[in-house]
Every structure is written in C-alpha cells, then in structure tokens.
Copies of this chain bind each other. A is one copy, B any other.
C-alpha cells in the first residue's frame, strides 16, 4: 500500500474530518473524491456489517441533477430502463449506455418531481455525458451537481438506528424509495438503499457544511446498537455478487454481459441512447457473461490493480475482475467476465502474480 498525495483535484467528503477522527487508514479515489476503504480492522468491519450496523462515508456517490421542463425526457434518453411508471419519491437502478450499447454507468435514479431527477452515480463522469446530450438535442434542462453527500447505514440493525433518528415511518419505506426530511435542522433525503445485501439506508445530506454534525449525530444514535465506521465492504460485495462499474467492466462491456439485462427494456423509444445497438446485441446473444470463481487454497490472496486471465485447457476464455477472501466461505472468490461458452461448474485456471491457481466457475451471488 502506497501513500496518496493531497491535491485539489481530489475533493474530500463533508465527512472527511469525521472519518479521520474515527481512525480511517486507507482510501480509494472515486468520482474525483476520496472514499474510506479501511478503518484498520477488516474482519471486524465485515462482521459488523453482517451482524450489526456499519456507517459509511459514500459521498463519492455524487449526484447528477437534471432539472427543468425536459428533465424527465433527458432521464429517459440516458437510461435503457423504461421510466414511464417511475413515481415521485421512487428510486430505480438503471443502466446508462453509450451509442454502441456499452455500459458507461449504473446509477440509482431518484425522481424528486417530474422536473427534477438525481442520478446517484458510479465512478464515471456523467455530468459531461448528460450535458453533451442535452445541449446537442436542444433540451430545456440544467445538468448540475447539487450539494448532496450520501451517508450509508448498512446491516441488519440499520433499520433500528434509522428509525430511532427519523421515526418509525422509515420501516415501511420500500426498497429504493426515498423521502426528504430533516434532523436537528440538517436537510436530508432518506432512502432504503446501499451497496450491500445486508439491508440498510442511505441518508443524502443536503448541506455539505453539516457533515461532521450528521456523522456524529448518527454515531451517537447508533451507540445502543454498537454502530461503528466501515465502508463499502469488498468481501461482502463479492460474496453478494454486487457489480463494480469500472472494476468489473471494461471499454466494451454491455449490460447483458454483467447481469443487467433486466434493466434494459428493448421496447423503449428509439431516441434512448444505445437501445438500437442493444437490440442487435440481444438478438445475436452476448459473447461474454459474468460468473463467480471459487478458487482452491485456504490462504487469503491479494488481487492488486489488474484483471487476471482465466484459462480453460490452456486457452484464455476470460478475466478474473476481482478477488476477495470470503470470511464465510473461507475461500478466495471473485467474478469472471468470461465467454458464454463457459458455464457454472467448469474448472478453470487463473494466472495470478505469476502463479496458476485452480478454481471452479459458480453462479452469482455466492451467498
């Protein structure tokens, strides 16, 4: 692990000082911001997410706001999922593709009102994309970044903590739905969402000056449930089969290849970007798909920065796009982006740091 040099090109989160005070030890960069990746106790942080409640600085999930009379029209042009039934207060997981049908982001779309949407984005520049499309098509919509910074509470006890802060109404909030409210004068939106499969909420802070106050307020409220700091958990997300755009995708990945086919509605209007290409790809059938790989061996391995080639009978058939030590399976596991000729159950060999490691293809999720 190497140091990261401070730079004004990398924006700190409103929770930055609070996470420093709570002992953050490592970061990644995401959407030109810093995201905590460790508080120094990886296994403890994992079990806290699985059994209790963990709080995460996910301000890097930056918002692309579409506002104006054509906001809804632009949202639909950008997303391959049919949004015609999306209600105010509802969120939807969507695919954004380019004209060739290549996935360029997989955000949560939040519909605030018919003239205001947020795209809570993964790690790529959708402001540029949306502004280019809006301007070239002459749409009456402003694309901007509002002052919004999500804080996630994840784990089986997250609901109790969030209810203790905002009230029991949050217990009936449906998955991906959200509501604007406030706490101690701090304006927020609360959504049932988050990048884990352990359940939980995301509190969208709407005043960046209040980051430390909100962090400490949540920390205090969570004490009866033994809340502690964490971050999007690499092990849990691999076990749960959660996609990382940019980590598990490359410059040619389409949604069908990474289990996102259900977010492509082939009958949306022709002006939706990428839909014509996706109809062709769907008709021909994708050439790759995403499976799990269960590796042999009983010791944690390290993945590094690069994909690792996967071979069957000596021929390259795909890549291992991530690899984590599973605390539950006691094995190294990862995702394969691999030829559709290879099915679950197939034995494979993975080249990692000069070694060849044997494994077996599995359906996702692992757990």
Question: Could you list which residues of chain A lie within 8 angstroms of chain B, going by C-beta atoms?
Answer: 1-12, 16, 24-30, 32, 34, 37-38, 98-99, 104, 123-125, 128-129, 131-133, 135-137, 145, 244, 246-248, 251, 273, 302-307, 321-322
Contacts and interface: CB of A to CB of B under 8 A. Distances in A.
Contacts of A26: 2-5
A115 B13 CA distance: 43
Chain A interface mostly helix, strand, loop or mixed?
loop
Contacts of A244: 7-9
B10 A251 contact: no
Number of copies: 2
Contacts of A132: 98, 128-129, 132-133, 136
A11 B104 CA distance: 17
Given A98-B128, A128-B128, A29 B11 contact: no
5 contacts: A5-B26, A6-B303, A7-B305, A8-B244, A129-B129
Contacts of A29: 4, 10, 29
A145 B251 contact: yes
Contacts of A128: 98, 104, 124-125, 128-129, 132
A123 B10 CA distance: 11
Contacts of A125: 124-125, 128
Given A2-B25, A9-B247, A145-B251, 7 more contacts: A4-B27, A5-B37, A6-B303, A8-B322, A9-B28, A12-B306, A135-B273
B305 A12 contact: yes
Contacts of A34: 305
A16 B305 CA distance: 10
Nearest to A24: B2
Of listed A29, A34, A136, A246, residue having the most chain B CB within 10 A: A29
Contacts of A10: 28-29, 305
The 10 A-B residue pairs whose C-beta atoms are closest, nearest first, are A132-B132, A136-B136, A3-B26, A1-B3, A99-B135, A5-B37, A125-B125, A29-B29, A9-B246, A8-B247
A304 to B, nearest CB: 5
B321 A8 contact: yes
A19 to B, nearest CB: 10
B246 A131 contact: no
A352 to B, nearest CB: 13
Given A98-B128, A128-B104, A131-B98, A307 B5 contact: no
A305 B5 contact: no
Contacts of A133: 132, 136
A14 to B, nearest CB: 11
A12 B307 CA distance: 11
Nearest to A251: B145
A223 to B, nearest CB: 26
Given A6-B304, A27-B2, A129-B128, A32 B246 contact: yes
A135 B137 CA distance: 12
B305 A6 contact: yes
Contacts of A12: 305-306
Contacts of A7: 28, 244, 247, 305
Which one of A3, A10, A11, A129 has the highest number of Cβ atoms from chain B below 10 Å of its Cβ?
Answer: A3
Nearest to A273: B135
A244 B7 CA distance: 10
Nearest to A131: B98
A32 B104 CA distance: 14
